[in-house]
Amino acid sequence: MPALLEIRDLKKHYPLRRRLFGRGGGTAKALDGVSLSIGQGETFAVVGESGSGKTTLGKTILRLIEPTSGSVQFEGREITGLGANELRRLRTDMQIVFQDPYGSLDPRWTIGQTLEEPLRTHLRLSDEDAKGRIERMLEVVGLSKQHASRYPHELSGGQRQRVGIARALITEPKFVVLDEPVSALDVSIQAQILKLMQELQSRLSLTYLFVSHDLSVVRYISDRVGVMYLGKMVETGPTAELFERPLHPYTRALISAIPEADPAKRRERITLSGEVPSPRNPPSGCAFHTRCPMARPECRSVIPEWRQVSENRSVACHLYNEESRDES
């Protein structure tokens, strides 16, 4: 599968303001050196708890957040240094669907006006062509052209998310970041929206970065998964393999918490102690060592390297150092 996106050592560090009282200064490492390759037509899911950096990763790839350093190549072209005009052109190819379908729509605009806005901003279509494209796109996402004259408050949550998807797809992008696209919806509606996104992917040859904290959804929708913790990628692999045989202790804990109907497949629950530490003051060495049930003395001081441990699996954990791999 040829790569559509190549991300190398991507960082987003925020300087912290000094406070008059107490500690301050330094940097918060929201994204701390993520490297990743996403293939054409693939759904790559990024999972992790709140504060892991997964949403920052999606927005930094799109340059909705400016990276501190690192490289993002889209179709072989470096995009981190593009100016405003080139970036506007790139927006037709790279789009985002947000989590909150209500909050992301302007309540004063009709659905037609909402869908017209990206066409006016990014493409110079005649009024007639724009109207035709809006009506077609409403039908593609399972709405009707009558919805163009409605306001967001007149639609259900599922219909609003269909509008969010239509707005992202109306410029005919190649790559879409789906940022927790179903987590604000009822479970019955979630399934419809996930199915719609799968259908649209094959129909329109889309590549997805699917950001989610919900591993059941990720298992259903993605081809490959990346697990993030405190701004770093800690494990990547094909979805089925990663769920079957998670390598990193954090991934094992996340997967052990998924409700499993089949008793034969149930895993022993691994409970992590404490909360995710603040990215303002991350632990030394392996950032997961304060919660890791398998931590060793070296984990407190030595940052584990990112290692490829098989053809398509990579992990950052001292358990998989060359000399200790047999022990894991």
Residues that bind ligand SF4 (CB under 6 A): 248-249, 286, 288-289, 292, 294-296, 299, 304, 317-319
Output 117 or 298, the one with its CB closest to ligand SF4: 298
Neighbours of 221 (CB within 10 A): 22
Provide, rounded to whole angstroms, the least separation between the CB of residue 227 and ligand SF4: 11
The answer to whether residues 165 and 196 touch, using CB atoms and an 8 Å cutoff, is yes
CB-count burial class (<10 Å; 0-12, 13-18, 19+) for 309: middle
Relative orientation angle of helices 157-169 and 111-122, to the nearest 10 degrees: 20
Output 152 or 304, the one with its CB closest to ligand SF4: 304
Helices (runs of H) and strands (runs of E) counted in the chain: 9, 12
Provide, rounded to whole angstroms, the least separation between the CB of residue 292 and ligand SF4: 3
119-146 per-residue burial string, b: 16 or more CB within 10 A, e: under 16: beebeeeeeeebbebbbebbebbbbebe
Output 62 or 319, the one with its CB closest to ligand SF4: 319
Nearest residue to 49 via CA among 277, 270, 303, 222: 277
Provide, rounded to whole angstroms, the least separation between the CB of residue 247 and ligand SF4: 9
Provide, rounded to whole angstroms, the least separation between the CB of residue 1 and ligand SF4: 29
Output 199 or 305, the one with its CB closest to ligand SF4: 305
Provide, rounded to whole angstroms, the least separation between the CB of residue 229 and ligand SF4: 9
Which DSSP category does 40 fall into?
A: T
Which DSSP category does 317 fall into?
A: -
Output 160 or 289, the one with its CB closest to ligand SF4: 289
